[in-house]
Amino acid sequence: MAASSRAQVLRLYRALLRESQRFDGYNYRTYAIRRVRDAFRENKNIKDSEKIEELVNKAKANLEVIRRQV
């Protein structure tokens, strides 16, 4: 993975965790954090750049959903 895409993924990961911390309800907050961590952990060994790009786009969409809900 190129350094720039790695940095992009890490920024996205941190942004998702940061936004998930803003949920008021404890159950929503812990669920969102757990889902983010599990998803990134599950896909950490993917090397295919097209698949990585697809997952990054999906994560960006999820970030926008979290921002709307918070």
Residue at 1 is within a domain:
no
Residue at 41 is within a domain:
yes
What would the two tokens of residue 61 be?
């969409």
Instruction: Judge contact between 56 and 12, C-beta under 8 A.
Output: yes
66 has pLDDT over 90: yes
Cα gap 5→44, rounded to integer Å? 13
Across the range 17-42, mean pLDDT stands at: 97
Residue at 36 is within a domain:
yes
pLDDT, tens digit (0-9, with 9 covering 90-100), for 35-47: 999 999 999 999 9
Confidence of residue 4 (pLDDT cuts 50, 70, 90): confident
Residue at 60 is within a domain:
yes
Residue at 55 is within a domain:
yes
Question: Could you tell me the residue range of the domain that residue 51 belongs to?
Answer: 6-68
Inter-CA distances, 52 with 9, 11, 23, 28, 70, Å: 9, 14, 27, 27, 27
Give the global pTM: 0.90
| Tally of domains within the chain | 1
